[in-house]
Chain A
């Protein structure tokens, strides 16, 4: 049962809980409980556990893709390649990039390996697959879920956003996966403690005509 369903009738469910328990989860328990620790397979054929091996203590960027999506996935992946470059030598050291397939039945580790090779990705950027159930659970867990079931079935609805965060500090943000690569790398800086703030140039902004104007 999802959170939304529970909030529908809080009074009924609350009755089953008496009152506050004294035990508060510590930060380690809290962090661990946020993400599923599902097993996944990397494009290099390694079996990893999502939280323990991929998330814990790391700064990460996560997106969903699938190899047979030719509309925007290749553009997204090549844009993330630019993010990868913009992050410089941090990738693989303290920043890790994960691209998870939405089509695990077809995107085998080998296929993902070819996909990674095609885009000439390097260390610190892992493509991931797994069983269909696990991937679906993970997708919901990470918020790549539309409460409209029709839209939720449409895979293209889940590929436009890259989620990033500092797991150790429990700080999470998101950006359009096709956004400016330098900007996406900068957003990660903006999450860091004591780090830089938007420059005057960004505050002033750059005008982009959305094509929504009529005179008078």
Chain B
């Protein structure tokens, strides 16, 4: 209902106002100060009208500040087993993706319908019927990518001649691989009914997630993909890759326009920490569309992950990715096909010291990264380096001859079907108590915190472990919360710390030079750590051993009450957020733990961990260019060097094969986990204290996420829990730019900050 507001004396006042505005304009031109202008503004408004609006209100006013959500309570915590992210299966191993990946989508872009896909090779789906989840059988998916895959002729292997490397090829330090051995995967980005609460709570699928589903699984196509009632969860997933074996990952966008309150069905899948070309980087601008049910179209994107270590081109782009392996004999017989191949073997190039292990892929759509990742578009990408006999694991889970042999390489815990190599993604969520749908406050620019901490998309699950070593790959999935992980044991209802429970073997995606024994560690959004916990050798703070039957708790003790960052306070055990309950069981008779915590100074192992790449400062003066980047706030949004993200702008042009030194700064009052795509950096100094004394031991590593600002670091000698953190406002890093060319972003991985301006793009020139 609208009313016309009436007033008297209009003509006179309008003249005054107009005169005032003319003055303002003139004053603006004359460059008078704001103080003077404000005075004039006050003068002009002194006789302003009193509107008396409070009485005219007729429609209901709903103030969200008096109606905030608090998630429904968990009634049966610690009753459901932890969901372990399953490995994605290769799509149609005989033929690969249909249609086959192409270097560049031409005038007639590659496209398909689900019916055509199913007809191509029904055996892939076990003969089960596969239908389009949209309910529109004619829905046609075409590729949105406009740019050519780089180095296609060097790195595109056909999918047709899969051949595993010979078993036990210990002839040299390198395990050679065939060039024709790409693995193809089909992922469907889908809306899935989901339950984060324990099964025993009986709330069923109370909400929906948007997540990646394994396209080789016929269940992924069902219209009503109801997973929980069947006792099967579908997300997150784990894609297993290995160096020297290219991965083709096709992501099909099956997301609906209806977002249930937040998110957008335009996605860009970023493989976080990987070293590859912009068309496969999944940056903020390279998105593709979900269902358009008016014309039955949707889009997909083929990501090309060559799985080559950084530095493979050496000093020139001309060098080939794969080099002939000189000493390996020709005439390899494929164990599956019996075909003898007489071409020379090749090896995976690159700097061995830049070997990665734990990566993840997640949505990166400009302005919507926080919403879409919070909705569930995140999964693991674990990269094995059995080619150099290092992180051996189970690099090809579908090869029956392989199988998580823990006596090879570094001897890290793995086991058959990754029983002892478990990825854990931590993310906080909030649920609408009315109906239980996932809730996000999208109008809050500071950052969003949920009141329910989930691990692998579950609230308060339990994990039964055997009394032996496990490898946990821990990832903070965002959007805004920082974590400090501790492990404690339940002693008759009292929680007792377990000091030095974690053997940290990586920082972000990088295996460390040597493992670090830690009581706790801090992670910002998108940071990762691989730890080994030896459940057979844990002692609590009172010196008592952890035994069979004991209950352990994985906790987050970092205090944080808003999206700007942690307060710096660390909570005592009884006030911390318990995330996962771990029950220690005996190691079954006949099972032996052959894994090791890799080479400690006192332990002799044949395989050393890798040295770091040498910094230029330690070699000679090689820094070509130094740049400064200030992460701050501007006009109520988040900025880099005072500017909000402009998608059309490149803020740095970098010569290939050069080193640069970047100084990252940030004011106080907030914390930012800064992420740089494509190339990793090493920290040279923090707050003017140089490497290595000013840097925590775990940061003496290559990294791709940098914590800066409030509570960036753990205080190694706190006087009280309040003094548990150190702020860090200035970090100097060094990095080199190699191998691929084009644009990549640098941004804050508090993804709410990223979506509200805190991002730039840099370009590696060709």
Contacts and interface: CB of A to CB of B under 8 A. Distances in A.
Interface of A: 1-8, 10, 13-25, 27, 30, 32-34, 36-41, 45-49, 51-53, 66-71, 74, 103, 105-111, 113-115, 117-118, 129-131, 134, 137, 140-148, 151, 156-161, 169-177, 179-180, 183, 187, 190-191, 193-194, 197-198, 200, 202-208, 210, 212-216
7 contacts: A114-B20, A118-B18, A131-B51, A147-B446, A193-B289, A197-B287, A207-B653
A115 B551 CA distance: 68
Interface stretch (B588-596, B629-637, B694-702): B629-637
B529 to A, nearest CB: 25
Nearest to A15: B73
Contacts of A129: 51
Interface in B34-88: 34, 37-38, 40-42, 44-45, 48-49, 51, 53-54, 56-73, 75
A8 B451 CA distance: 8
Contacts of B264: 171, 191
Contacts of A16: 70
B433 A20 contact: yes
Contacts of A103: 41, 45
B649 A14 contact: no
Contacts of B5: 41, 45-47, 109
A175 to B, nearest CB: 7
Interface of B: 2-7, 10, 13-14, 17-18, 20-21, 24-25, 27-28, 32, 34, 37-38, 40-42, 44-45, 48-49, 51, 53-54, 56-73, 75, 144, 146-147, 197, 201, 203, 206, 257-262, 264-266, 278, 285-289, 292, 294-295, 297, 366-368, 431-437, 441-446, 449-452, 561-564, 621, 623-629, 633-637, 641, 643-644, 646-653, 669, 743, 756-757, 760-761, 763
Contact of B59 (A49, A172, A213): A49
Given A19-B72, A161-B637, A213-B625, A36 B14 contact: no
Contacts of A7: 449-451, 561-562
Contact of B53 (A67, A131, A190): A131
A110 to B, nearest CB: 5
Nearest to B65: A2
Contacts of B286: 197-198, 203
A16 B70 CA distance: 9
Nearest to B431: A20
Contacts of B41: 66-69, 103, 106
Contacts of B28: 70, 74
Contacts of A53: 2
Given A6-B70, A47-B2, A143-B445, A19 B649 contact: no
B636 A216 contact: no
A130 to B, nearest CB: 6
Contacts of B40: 68
B717 to A, nearest CB: 28
Contacts, number: 341
B647 to A, nearest CB: 6
B443 A172 contact: yes
Nearest to B437: A24
Chain A binding surface, main DSSP class: mixed
B176 to A, nearest CB: 37
B443 A141 contact: yes
Contacts of B75: 19
The 4 A-B residue pairs whose C-beta atoms are closest, nearest first, are A68-B41, A24-B435, A160-B635, A106-B45
A2 B563 CA distance: 13
Contacts of A41: 5, 51, 53
A114 B21 contact: yes
A177 B635 CA distance: 10
Contacts of A134: 53
Contact of B623 (A23, A105, A148, A216): A216
B223 to A, nearest CB: 20
A13 B760 CA distance: 40
Contact of A158 (B48, B432, B561, B636): B636
A103 B62 CA distance: 23
A198 B287 CA distance: 9
Contacts of B652: 210, 213
Contact of A202 (B63, B635, B647, B757): B647
Given A3-B441, A148-B669, A205-B763, A179 B646 contact: yes
B42 A194 contact: no
A36 B24 contact: no
A131 B52 CA distance: 7
Contact of B56 (A18, A23, A47, A212): A47
A12 to B, nearest CB: 10
Contacts of A156: 635
B70 A17 contact: yes
A34 B64 contact: yes
Contact of A106 (B42, B63, B288, B443): B42
Nearest to B55: A39
A183 B647 contact: yes
B4 A45 contact: yes
B73 A14 contact: yes
Nearest to A203: B285
Contacts of B563: 4
Most-contacted residue by chain A among B367, B432, B449 (CB, 10 A) = B367
Contacts of B63: 36, 137, 141
A20 B649 contact: no
Nearest to B436: A20
Nearest to B57: A39
Nearest to B24: A70
Contacts of B648: 180, 183, 202, 205-206
Contacts of A205: 648-650, 743, 761, 763
Contacts of B564: 147
B410 to A, nearest CB: 39
A119 B197 CA distance: 55
A2 B651 CA distance: 37
Contacts of B443: 34, 141-143, 172
B430 to A, nearest CB: 8
B434 A4 contact: no
B68 A3 contact: yes
Contact of A23 (B2, B435, B637): B435
B643 A210 contact: yes
A212 B630 CA distance: 10
A44 to B, nearest CB: 9
Nearest to B445: A143
B70 A176 contact: no
Nearest to B48: A108
Contacts of B435: 20-25
Given A34-B261, A147-B446, A169-B259, 5 more contacts: A19-B75, A21-B433, A106-B44, A107-B45, A210-B643
B439 to A, nearest CB: 10
Contacts of B62: 32-33, 36-37
Contacts of A34: 64, 261, 443
Contacts of A131: 51, 53-54
B45 A14 contact: no
Contacts of B562: 4, 7, 147
A112 to B, nearest CB: 9
A111 to B, nearest CB: 5
A161 B61 contact: no
Given A171-B259, A172-B442, A108 B646 contact: no
Contacts of A1: 65-66, 68
A160 B642 CA distance: 12
